[in-house]
Amino acid sequence: SKVPPIILNNGVEMPQLGFGVWQVPDDEAERAVGTALEAGYRSIDTAAIYGNEKGTGKALAASGLPREDIFVTTKLWNSDQGYDSTLRAFDASLEKLGLDYVDLYLIHWPLPSRDTYLDTYRAFEKLYADGRAKAIGVSNFLPEHLRRLIAETSVIPAVNQIELHPHLQQREAREFHAEQGIATEAWSPLGQGKGLLEVPAIVAIARKHGRTPAQVVLRWHIQLGNVVIPKSVTPSRIKENIAVFDFHLDDEDLAAISALNEDRRLGPDPAAFDLA
Ligand code: NAD
């Protein structure tokens, strides 16, 4: 299945569905990412803190795919925020990935109490100007952090990657991003595969379409316009999760999923999260 792109605010194309590798150990990442690339994924979402940039890079190299056909995202970890430390951390990530540019570089968390994201982002602007990051953005930024960032810096973030799934639909953030031309990327799009995939409304929609609950949830994201990066290390699920471009949810399905919002986070609250 070919994944359609969305066009970021600087004209760069990003596949609307990619492969997330959080919690995949470095020595398993090469196999998992290799399986994903074989299944047709062309976008990989990693981060310095995941500890698997090396394994990810090995899979990219082993695939033999042209560099321009792959979209690679990595993220700056909290302990490296600040102008000079960001530039150093970026070099270290590129080295581990074995690449000479990334497609998207994200500030992993805003850490508002430390107040370093503006300096950090100014280093991102340099990496962008130098062509070493084809697009720059943020993750876990609340609208108040984005407003300040946009007011104080020159490049509007291309992407904000936030926790988003049917139990946490993030309507306000999505609306704000749309107004600003920022793409919304959903992390834990399957709600980490826990209770969400057993919710009766989702199971019923899956039966109706002859699909799996995971495919229904991913298709819901796609129809909303979100970028999604589901994670799995199981080959059959890796294939299942990309096979969502040959069916359509109708208005009734979409309304039933909309009704599942509980504003319930699985991860930390970005306003308070301050882990080094
Ligand atoms: P996810 O919602 O993608 O769920 C993954 C889990 O769901 C798997 O471990 C598996 O248990 C289950 N699963 C996957 N496919 C399935 C299927 N077809 N059927 C049944 N169960 C299935 O959760 P995630 O890994 O937390 O999020 C995806 C990616 O988002 C991560 O790998 C990472 O790249 C990114 N992420 C980013 C942040 C951030 O702070 N920016 C935080 C968390 C995750």
* CA-proximal residue: ligand 1, atom 21 (nearest): 193
First to last CA, the chain: 39
Domains of the chain, with CATH numbers? 5-258 (3.20.20.100)
The ligand 1 site (C-beta within 6 Å) comprises: 20-22, 45, 108, 139-140, 161, 187-193, 197, 212, 214, 229-232, 237, 240-241, 267
Quote the tokens at residue 5. Answer: 């792109």
Distance CA 75, CA 105 (A): 6
- Does the pLDDT at position 248 exceed 60? yes
* Residues 56 and 32: beta-carbon distance below 8 Å: no
The pLDDT of residue 1 is 56
Q: Which residues are annotated as a binding site for substrate?
A: 108
CA 202 to ligand 1 center in whole angstroms? 17
- Residue 160 has what DSSP assignment? E
CB 243 within 8 A of CB 1: yes
Chain-centroid distance of CA 147 in Å reads 21
- Check 41, 50, 117, 121 and give the catalytic one: 50
Kindly state the DSSP code that residue 134 receives in the 8-state scheme: S
pLDDT at residue 94 in the model: 98
Average pLDDT of the residues of the chain = 98
For residue 151, pLDDT over 70 is answered with: yes
Q: Average pLDDT of 201-223?
A: 98
ipTM surpasses cut 0.90: yes
Ligand 1, closest atom to CA 161?
Answer: 41
CA 79 to chain centroid, in Å, comes to 20
Distance from Cα 215 to the centre of ligand 1, integer Å: 13
Alpha carbons 169 and 173: distance in angstroms, whole number: 9
* Averaged pLDDT, 192-220: 97
Ligand 1 center–CA 213 separation, angstroms: 14
Average pLDDT over residues 201-215: 98
On whether the CB atoms of residues 49 and 82 are closer than 8 A, the answer is: no
Q: Per-residue pLDDT for 140 more than 90? A: yes
**For a pocket test of ligand 1, which of 145, 168, 188 has the largest count of ligand atoms closer than 8 A to its C-beta?**
188
CA distance 28 to 23: 10
50 is catalytic: yes
Atom of ligand 1 nearest to the CA of 191: 2
**How do 227-228 and 183-187 pair as beta strands?**
parallel
How far is 77 from 97, CA to CA, in rounded Å?
Answer: 15
Global confidence as pTM: 0.98
Q: Where are the alpha helices (DSSP H) in the chain?
A: 26-39, 53-63, 83-97, 117-129, 143-152, 171-180, 200-209, 213-224, 235-242, 251-258
* Contact criterion met (CB below 8 Å) for 41 and 17: yes
Return the ligand 1 atom nearest residue 236 CA.
18
Taking the CA of residue 162 as reference, the ligand 1 atom at the shortest distance is: 41
pLDDT, position 275: 85
Q: What is the mean pLDDT of residues 98-125?
A: 98
Q: What is the pLDDT of residues 31-47, one digit of tens each?
A: 999 999 999 999 999 99
For residues 79 and 89, the answer to whether their CB atoms sit within 8 Å is no
DSSP notation for 190-248: TGGGSGGGG-HHHHHHHHHHT--HHHHHHHHHHHHT-EE----S-HHHHHHHH--SS--
Q: Ligand 1 center to residue 233 CA distance, Å?
A: 10
Using DSSP bridges, classify how beta strands 5-7 and 13-15 pair: parallel, antiparallel or unpaired: antiparallel
The pLDDT of residue 97 is above 90: yes
d(CA 153, CA 156): 8
The per-residue pLDDT for 231 is 98
pLDDT at 56 over 90: yes
The letter for the amino acid at 255 is: A
For residue 163, what are the CA distances in angstroms to 1, 47, 171? 25, 15, 12
